[in-house]
Amino acid sequence: MRTLSLLLVMVLTATSLLMAQEDKKPAYGWKNSVVGDLNFTQNAFDNWQQGGENSWSWALNINAKFENDQEKYNWSNSGKLALGQTQIGDADPRKAADEIKVESVYTYKLGVLINPYISGALLTQATKGYTYDPKVAVSDFFDPAYLTESVGVGFKPNEIIKTRLGAALKQTLTNTYTGYADDPATTTIEDFKNEIGAESVTDINWKVSERILYVGKLGMFTNFEGLNTVDVDWDNTFSAMVSEIIKVSFNIRLYYDRDVSPKRQLKQTLAVGLSYTFL
SS3 50: coil
**Euclidean distance between the first and the last CA atom of the chain, given in angstroms as a whole number:** 58
What is the model's pTM? 0.84
- One digit per residue, the tens of pLDDT, for the chain of length 279 reads 444 344 444 444 555 555 544 445 668 999 999 999 998 889 999 999 889 999 999 999 999 999 999 999 999 999 999 999 999 999 999 999 999 999 999 999 998 889 999 999 999 999 999 999 899 999 999 999 999 999 999 999 998 999 999 999 999 999 999 989 998 889 899 999 999 999 999 999 999 999 999 999 999 999 987 766 899 999 999 999 988 888 998 999 999 998 888 899 999 988 888 887 887
Strand partners, 202: 163, 218
| Predicted pLDDT of residue 5 | 45
| Predicted pLDDT of residue 271 | 85
| Predicted pLDDT of residue 7 | 43
The torsion angles phi and psi of 242, rounded to 5 degrees, stand at -75, -40
Cβ within 8 Å of residue 217, ≥6 positions away? 201, 202, 203, 204, 233, 234, 235
| Predicted pLDDT of residue 24 | 54
C-beta contacts of 65-69 below 8 A and 24+ residues apart: 65/31, 65/32, 65/33, 65/34, 66/30, 66/31, 66/32, 67/30, 67/31, 67/32, 68/29, 68/30, 68/31, 69/26, 69/28, 69/29, 69/31
CA angle 179, 182, 184 (to 5 degrees): 105
| Predicted pLDDT of residue 227 | 66
Spatial separation of the C-alpha atoms in residues 183 and 154, rounded to whole Å: 33
SS3 16: helix
Domains, in order of start, for the chain = 31-277 (2.40.230)
Spatial separation of the C-alpha atoms in residues 64 and 247, rounded to whole Å: 17
| Predicted pLDDT of residue 25 | 61
| Predicted pLDDT of residue 8 | 44
Q: Which amino acid is at 71?
A: E
SS (H, E, C) 217-260: EEEEEEECCCCCCEEEEEEEEEEEECCCCEEEEEEEEEEECCCC
Spatial separation of the C-alpha atoms in residues 194 and 225, rounded to whole Å: 12
| Predicted pLDDT of residue 41 | 87
